[in-house]
A and B are shown apart, each in its own frame.
Chain A
Amino acid sequence: MEKTTSIMIVGVGGQGSLLASKLLGNLLTDEGYDVKVSEVHGMSQRGGSVVTYVRYGEKVYSPIVTEGECDYIISFEKLEAARYASCLRKGGRIIVNTQQIDPMPVITGSAEYPENVLEELKNQGFQIDDFDALAPAMEAGSAKAVNIVLMGHFAAHTSIPKEKWMAALEKTVPAKFLEMNKKAFCLGYGE
């Protein structure tokens, strides 16, 4: 049986991880995979740390991803990439937006933001693909398009052709935001 691929989309509540997982879910279902997606709703969305799991393969049972199982962590924020790093399997990859969003303990001064957290992870042997997704999102037309820039960047790592991603994007995003999101996706993809 083909191995299940596990992805985690992590970030801060309100950054648009639900749309990103919806895009992935639609794409992978169209590709004929068995797919499971697990989301977070409710209180934790209020600026808290949020994680969405996406798993696909021939037959997927569990909707969640635990330690050492994750093939790709797609992180909307630096600190959040580090928080879930132990879920990454040996040889897995972290794709991370270098944006920094201070959590409340940092704002109130009871904790410090670990500025070099990605360097530390790299030194430990983690494969990290870090880049600024905010600037391309702004270029596409909105800071809110960070999610789609990241998905575009992730898409370049997969074997699924770009046209299929674009078709899934059309299916997922409301028509009036489609052009902006297509641009954001292409900027993330590296074109």
Chain B
Amino acid sequence: MKKLLIGNEAVAWGLYNGGLSVISSYPGTPSTEITEFLAKHDDIHTEWAPNEKVACETAFGASLAGVRSACAMKHVGLNVAADPLFTLSYTGVTGGMVICVADDPAMHSSQNEQDSRHYAIAAKVPMLEPADSAEAYEFAKSAFELSEQYDTPVILRMCTRIAHSQCVVDIGEREGTPRKEYVKQPAKYIMMPGYAKVRHPLVEQRTENLRAMAENCAYNRIEDRGSEIGIITSGCSYLYVKEVFGDSVSILKIGMPNPLPEKKIREFAAKVKKLYIIEELDPVIENHVRSLGIACTGKTLFSAIGEFSQQTIREAFRKEGVDFGESPEKQGEAPKVPGRPPMMCAGCPHRGMFYTLAKNHITVLGDIGCYTLGAVAPLNALDSTLCMGASVSGIHGFNLGMNGEAEKKTVAVIGDSTFMHSGMTGLVNIAYNATNSTVIILDNSITGMTGHQQNPTTGYNIKGDPAAKVDLEALCKALGIRRVRVVDPYNLKECEAAVKEELAAEEPSVIISRRPCVLLKYVKAKTPLKVDAEKCRACKRCMGLGCPAISMKNGKARIDTTLCVGCGVCEQLCPFGAIGEV
């Protein structure tokens, strides 16, 4: 069956046809769709775990039980799952295990641009890196065999461009793999010092065995065109090189960035007069090539920052004086136009709470999710965003660092899913180590930014079936917070009263700002509001909300009725009663 697939759907098909039984993941752009596509199959188990560490350890358990398993996450998710990863390298697997990780060069939807290849090197596990959907399918499928053959988890590295680009993939049939019999193996699976000391040399030997395999495997391939220059490249950079040079230059295409071959690189380098290394982000291949004593040009010509494109390749080789045929000729220059940054949707339930915080000049430690958009103008409500859960842990440290002076004017904001992911432990710390911190859980009843995934607070599982639902109020109380209250963020008075009272309280507190995401299908829009131009005095108070439905036209506020969902927050702000249902 031939189908046009995004890279993530291709990975899903590869894992499925490769005999996957269990996948546990945490959503994160650009990795989310891998698990969403797999959830369409009823003969395997798919789930959203509370975080990537839980997901990775669930996949470990399934592998231990003897079935093929996987977990998927974005690059920063692998930081969370790094703890099991490093020791999984020692234990190895029973059923094949694949860790899918998606990097985000150019940070389309991320807080950093880290290069996951360093994890494969540091944890000493093999990594595969496809260049398009067709390879993503093949690599994902074969990763299970690689995993079982070499007794190791395998990391499959994607990046945004490959994860979200489509090409035609030939999808084969699912190969059922029977569960291996469970045998208790203490020396393999109990990683206490006595046993781990025996496992480590096996890990080193495994790397040597894998490197020997890397010399001749189909993942790394030489396209010898007899050219003077030679290019070693991997992932989508390969596609850009091919776009510019076609079949006119010799290429060593790396599909397995760890461990890298030695002989194959020497063989390739010997064929060409000048060697270039083209890889996005860090000089991983380049450093390896240099360690072999081979001269090459890499990061001095191709930046460690952002994504590449065929234009990047053309511009670099033009500087080098290398001929690559014609360059495209553009019609003209684009005029300078205002930017269009992403923003909170009209009717977003986060807006009312952020307006309240900004109005009262509260210091706000933020977290990861749609609500990071509270940082942009005109609300400018955030002071920090670091990583999942850092708002809750961070406010505790901030209040300690400020020696109590900031407690009455500082809050942490965190979403429901992010709180489940890694906010809970921070809240325990607030209660246990006693700072008078105020945490606001922005509960929009869904994992929003990644495209509406269920989580333990929503009451539904990945398939939309009813599931155990975490009671956030009871949970916060059980963690040691006595003051827990719920507010409706569409009600500005209620928000302000809650924020002021909880900041004034002489003990830690949690405010749950609860209203479902306005984009959820079951949330019905109310009648759009209108501005009575007669009553509007152009005070622009409503404009302070940063609602995309409100603008100033001909000196009066105007509401775009195709965008307005009638949340009524602007109506509460208008001192002249000019906004309402007309």
Show the binding face of A for B, using Cβ within 8 Å.
12-14, 25-26, 29, 34-49, 60-64, 66-69, 79-80, 82-92, 102-114, 117, 120-121, 124-127, 143
Contact = CB atoms under 8 A, between A and B. Distances in A.
Given A103-B339, A107-B546, A62 B239 contact: yes
B4 A102 contact: no
Contact of A64 (B161, B333, B543): B161
Most chain B beta carbons < 10 A, residue from A39, A46, A48: A46
Contacts of A120: 335
B165 interface: yes
B166 A37 contact: yes
29 contacts: A29-B168, A36-B166, A38-B166, A40-B108, A41-B451, A43-B109, A43-B370, A43-B372, A46-B370, A48-B340, A63-B161, A66-B309, A67-B330, A68-B329, A68-B330, A69-B310, A69-B328, A79-B340, A86-B332, A86-B333, A102-B548, A104-B340, A105-B339, A105-B340, A107-B546, A107-B550, A111-B339, A121-B335, A127-B331
Contact of B331 (A39, A88, A111): A88
Contacts of B108: 40, 42-44
Contacts of A124: 331-333
B521 to A, nearest CB: 13
B309 A107 contact: no
Contacts of B167: 34-37, 60, 63
B327 to A, nearest CB: 7
Interface in B164-221: 164-168
Contacts of B330: 67-68, 86-90
B296 to A, nearest CB: 23
A34 B2 CA distance: 12
B378 interface: yes
A122 B327 CA distance: 24
Given A63-B161, A89-B330, A83 B243 contact: no
Given A61-B239, A66-B311, A88-B332, 11 more contacts: A25-B166, A35-B166, A35-B167, A41-B29, A62-B240, A64-B161, A86-B332, A88-B331, A89-B330, A121-B332, A124-B332
A40 B342 CA distance: 12
Most chain B beta carbons < 10 A, residue from A69, A80, A109, A127: A69
Most chain A beta carbons < 10 A, residue from B6, B109, B328: B328
A104 B342 CA distance: 8
Contacts of B257: none
A17 to B, nearest CB: 13
B242 interface: yes
B4 A104 contact: no
B334 interface: yes
A89 B6 CA distance: 27
Interface residues of B, number: 57
B338 A103 contact: yes
B582 interface: no
Interface string B339-368: 111111100000000000000000000000
Interface of B: 4, 6, 29-30, 32-33, 108-109, 132, 161, 164-168, 236, 239-240, 242-243, 309-311, 327-335, 337-345, 370, 372-373, 376-378, 449-451, 543, 546, 548, 550-552, 562
Contacts of B32: 41
A104 B449 contact: no
A103 B551 CA distance: 10
Contacts of A12: 340
A66 B328 CA distance: 9
B474 to A, nearest CB: 32
A62 B338 contact: no
B335 A85 contact: yes
A114 B239 contact: no
Contact of B546 (A83, A86, A91, A104): A104
Contacts of B331: 68, 85, 88-92, 124-127
A74 to B, nearest CB: 15
A190 B337 CA distance: 31
A61 B245 CA distance: 11
B109 A117 contact: no
A36 to B, nearest CB: 5
Contact of A113 (B165, B166, B239, B338): B338
Most chain A beta carbons < 10 A, residue from B6, B30, B335, B376: B335
B123 to A, nearest CB: 27
A124 B330 CA distance: 12
Contacts of B239: 61-63
A35 B373 contact: no
A121 B419 CA distance: 48
Contact of B168 (A34, A43, A113): A34
